[in-house]
Structure 1
């Protein structure tokens, strides 16, 4: 039997046997049937993109692990969006960006957040103070109560992390 047929059968069985359960599991965690349905579908899309059938002893644990990651991403994005919209609410009317520009900025913020995921909080803070606020290393060191050499180490870690995330 061709590999794609085996995988299709695996995916169809997994979906048929566990979609309803996964949707309910997500509904309990989101309090929104629409978000739960979207996240359940996204979970199966992730499985589909793996393109390999697995011998699963615990299919619900497998699906819950994928869904949990998507749920974290969902809440992280919602938090970024709220913070961005709060910042926009303080702008004078003529400076408020168009809906298209807002969507582009939000996507960029989500991508930056994804890129910086995995950095220790202090490293991320130093990086953002440098790159977004334009502070010098001595200014960052003073603000964070650290030495300049610590900030240099943090920045090296942050740039290395970003390089690996983008190019490796």
Structure 2
């Protein structure tokens, strides 16, 4: 077994469960397993498992991007089905509020992508991984004060962007 395979295997054992939960929140249980598999597949294909400084953070970023893609596909399909006025057997167009909430999640992720990586990483560690500020500081190798500034900057950016967005419920 090469180094990349062993790192990826350990990452899978350690993170697959939490990654599934993360994906379920974003795309629902039906698509979650696909998102997880696609994220690990991409990590394997890119060979980033061994050279990535923070493989867990990178894995969750890949899963987040994959989830956004899955939501876009779902929304496109729902628009197509509703414009055609038909559904295939067993398919029901998604209710508008659910689609709107998924659009809002995708928009929030786009807003997060606008942040500088240090701010985005601190924000994701705090809100997604539920790490304390001192844990984040140790994880990122910075001071707690730096983490506080990064979180404040991220929150201010998100507040400003959501004010200008049509999805003010974020």
Q: TM-score, normalised by structure 1?
A: 0.46
Please state which structure has a larger fraction of its residues in helix.
1
Larger radius of gyration: 1
